[in-house]
Chain A
């Protein structure tokens, strides 16, 4: 996935061919991260589009300090959290403070009677719990970093991670 500095430099000059090369190189990684945070494919596509617009516009800011993916990942997480926050505001009337649906129990997924695949179990977590789980367990962010990105504390992140694992244990034996 590593791109040469020449490609990054050309991309910074607005060379569309180089920008597309950056896009193709990180397309799957960005979408996977966005999809793990977002509720559905369409939302993840929104985040991906916004992420790459930002990357194409700001790639000159990347000066080769740290990995290119590290920078792109940070932009992706930022955009995904912004999207998630916006979605939560829209759905505020049906969500409680921790992000679990209340008042929409009729539409909540039924309690599984058999273990489900991990992928499907992830989908059944609340967006916030899933986000914290993914950022910590897969992307390797610390609770402190996650808390800061979400405007919360490290304790909030730890609490959400515990809830996510408890729920996963129920769903995915």
Chain B
């Protein structure tokens, strides 16, 4: 039914009366004498009694009246309030994580959990009233809309049938964020039906919140009989034994299962052994004839199927963190950096080309970094030139923490630290204040172009800061903040669907095709494997492996209970009022009337019309 936000504006439509009056008055007053109407009457007779010419005149009047009426209609802001007879839309969120590919049932064979989920979705589709829009989302570590919104049930069925299990986990936070944005762009109300085996990392709360509580869960999967391995690692040889491959094995069945596990390194089979796995979790160890060296390793269940039957491990030579210290020798800084895994370089002044040394971190003590410097920088005393931080005065007093949640504040307690002869800093936007002296910033940090910067207004040598037990921890925090896990041997053993940041130089290249998504930011690169497997990387003369595994939690075959309730039935349907504005349409018609009248008034030749 048509309603109006400003019904008083409809009085404007009375303006059609003077338009009509003026039209006929003008016709009456504009009498033009002619010698004879003989030719005019002949003309009218040739145009079917002049009907066409008269119709054109009346059409002009109708257009004028229409323009006035539509203008009044537009001014009254019309809209319709209709009850959606088809009920709310239904969004199916189907879990397509790796666990949905497990066999569903104690036998360990037969249909997978995803097959069961598809059958449940198809059954629910039949219950939804015809005409109700339906959307199907496939959710793993990311969300893919595979159908809709649309009312076609055949399309939805085909989309559901095309679903395949992935190799990643269910990223509920990402799914909830995506669905919140999607729901905001939809008309009407939507209900969600989550079909999962319970492998939702946040327990379904975020998804329920995205749907405003209108989320129903359909749990699938019973105690499974599948066997999978996880936790693949190597133990080095010692005096008592050789190197071993260690694994966790899961037997989801109710009876013991016998499996053969095989371990290969760089493509060559190195060890194989049979194991009887009790129901539930098992630990297995396989002796290796070679030492656990840097290589690309794979453990697999012989004859196993699915991503849970293989695990990958990348072992690479650890790489030192390269640190450049610029400025006067400071024993506290030197002591904090004197450990394995750190290569220290000392210079009195900034090199002309700071990138020449491929330093992961630069520490400037009393020396201002040049304005064109880009890299991870920890500066004591003097902020870098061209930065959003400037010296704003002297500081003398205890250092008071201001931000406990920042990575640089981890395990830091400046309680006994006192700044003497230091500086306080003036900060611009985007700079976080980590500690203050007399309420003014003295330790600040910020990020720019992917690089991380920190400025400390204290001189470690001439204050209590260097003596504080937190100082070496602060230095380590800064190194970890800037250079994530580059020193670990297995730092390139990653999980499918999860992005890991690693400090690698620009020359680092991965041979993975489209199976790994890379995104560089500053000195680090974000690595998100899309499929499980072993991949090779190169960095100049150096080579290594990158391993990507299916998330381990995906293979505990027992379905989990979600934090939110699972009804297992189709949601109720109610008639939802929907508002549809017509103001723009009225304005469009108003403009169309004016344009048509203008063309008609111009009397374009027939050929052009």
Co-assembled chains A and B? no
**A interface with B by C-beta (< 8 Å):** none
